[in-house]
Amino acid sequence: MLLVFKSSTSAWGFDPEEDLSARAAVLMDAATGKILYQKEADLRLPPASTTKVVTAILTLESGRSPSQSLTVSKEATRVPASKLYLRPGQSVTIEELLYGIMLGSANDASVVLAEGIGGSVERFTQLMTKKAHQIGATNSHFTNPHGLTAPDHYSTAKDLALLFRYAMKNPMFRDIVQTKFSSVRTTAMVRKKLVPRRISVRNHNRLLWGYDGALGGKTGYTLAAQKCFVGAVQRNGTTLIVAILGARDQWGDTKRLLEYGFDHYDSLKASPPAGKGPSIEQQVGPRFDRLPAFMESSQENKQLQLPEGYILQVATFRERDRAELFSRQMTAKGFNAFIEQTSLSPGDTAYRVRIGPYPELQAAQETAQEILTKSGHRVLILPLQSARHEPSDQG
């Protein structure tokens, strides 16, 4: 039955199994929640800023008035970009912050919401995970409200589709994600006077510009996560939700999968989900059954033996305290982590978190797989002699 169905997809001129760059993808019927297509739907991966969908859900259901103002803390201003560059002491309404995170993908606004709604980032992220599980996204776990790469922060394509489907039932959420441009208004006390400030934000969702039926969505990107997207499109009374993780061709994947779904909706909804379903191991627990493409070695690489060995580059931060925290977390998981300071450009310093060294390539690969399994974090395997010249992952 599966082989017959796959031959049909080839006849349609697009085979998602061959033509998608994403590591994981789901196409869902918004009306019923039925999965029409899946590729590694339950594979746990870093979701980048698609995380902010859950931040928005929790905020909108907190019982707080959208007009309530929250105060920006010093901690919120220290989070890396993307951000609104808020200043300590500024006041911003919850509604303005929601526009900031969903249009401008502002990490600092996410922290302000987490602190203001949950009392602390730690408490808020615990509530995020709890809420996701209540919705049915039981293969997700969140440790921050913005989606910057962190240990134990992961989701799946299926979970993201479920979460976005749930979020779109909220009228305010729908209004926000449909908005192309907005401005975030803030106020600050300067010499005993309230001084207003406006920050323009533009929606990162390219589908809103010229893609027929686009209802809204949320993008995401980090070096570890690669390009991610979750969103909804409606045509002729049918609404489809698409979720992709770990893509190289973010918009190409999204559009091709949506066209595939709309063109053959009747056939897809009457059949079992097309694509590659989860294995038994994936259904009952986390499993990463293959390394990312840039971590897989050719036969030539397997034969390569450098006397200096190999090292794993896990992440790079601009703030040393964040690098130290991450290094301690990796050390607590049993990895030999250390920090190396590097210069990105004159006056611009970064801190690399690395693990190793390993005398053999196989040992480095096995550790890289272990890190991926334990934390969902994708790493670079570098020969020691060239490790100091590799580009950085901007947290």
- In this predicted structure, what is the pLDDT of residue 195? 75
**Of 389 and 296, the one with more pLDDT:** 389
Same domain flag for 321 and 364: yes
- In this predicted structure, what is the pLDDT of residue 12? 44
Give the C-alpha separation, 322 to 324, whole Å. 5
Quick: pLDDT tens for 165-220.
999 999 999 999 999 999 999 877 677 777 788 899 999 999 999 999 999 999 99
Q: Pick the last residue of a domain from 236, 254, 289.
A: 289
**Of 350 and 89, the one with more pLDDT:** 89
**Of 287 and 183, the one with more pLDDT:** 183
- In this predicted structure, what is the pLDDT of residue 342? 78
Same domain flag for 229 and 138: yes
Q: Which of 51, 22, 44, 42 is nearest to 218 (CA)?
A: 51
Name the region of 94 (left: φ>0; alpha: ψ -120 to 50; beta: rest).
alpha
In the structure encoding, which two tokens stand for residue 193, read together? 């006077």
How sure is the predictor about 313, in pLDDT bands with cuts at 50, 70 and 90?
Answer: confident
- Give the domain CATH number at 360: 3.30.70.1070
**Distance (Å) of CA 130 to CA 12, 60, 136, 275:** 41, 15, 10, 29
Residue ranges making up the domain that contains 362: 293-389
How sure is the predictor about 346, in pLDDT bands with cuts at 50, 70 and 90?
Answer: low
Q: Pick the last residue of a domain from 245, 265, 289.
A: 289
- Give the domain CATH number at 27: 3.40.710.10
Same domain flag for 234 and 180: yes
Give the C-alpha separation, 85 to 77, whole Å. 7
Q: Edge-to-edge strands of the sheet including 274-276? A: 214-222, 226-235, 238-247, 24-29, 35-39, 274-276
Query: Mean pLDDT, the chain, as a whole number?
Result: 83
How sure is the predictor about 293, in pLDDT bands with cuts at 50, 70 and 90?
Answer: very low
**Of 47 and 372, the one with more pLDDT:** 47
Active site residues: 49, 52, 105
Same domain flag for 315 and 218: no
Same domain flag for 241 and 307: no
How sure is the predictor about 384, in pLDDT bands with cuts at 50, 70 and 90?
Answer: low
Q: Which of 5, 27, 9 is nearest to 18 (CA)?
A: 9
Position 327 pLDDT exceeds 90: no
Give the C-alpha separation, 61 to 117, whole Å. 10
Same domain flag for 326 and 374: yes
**Of 288 and 376, the one with more pLDDT:** 376
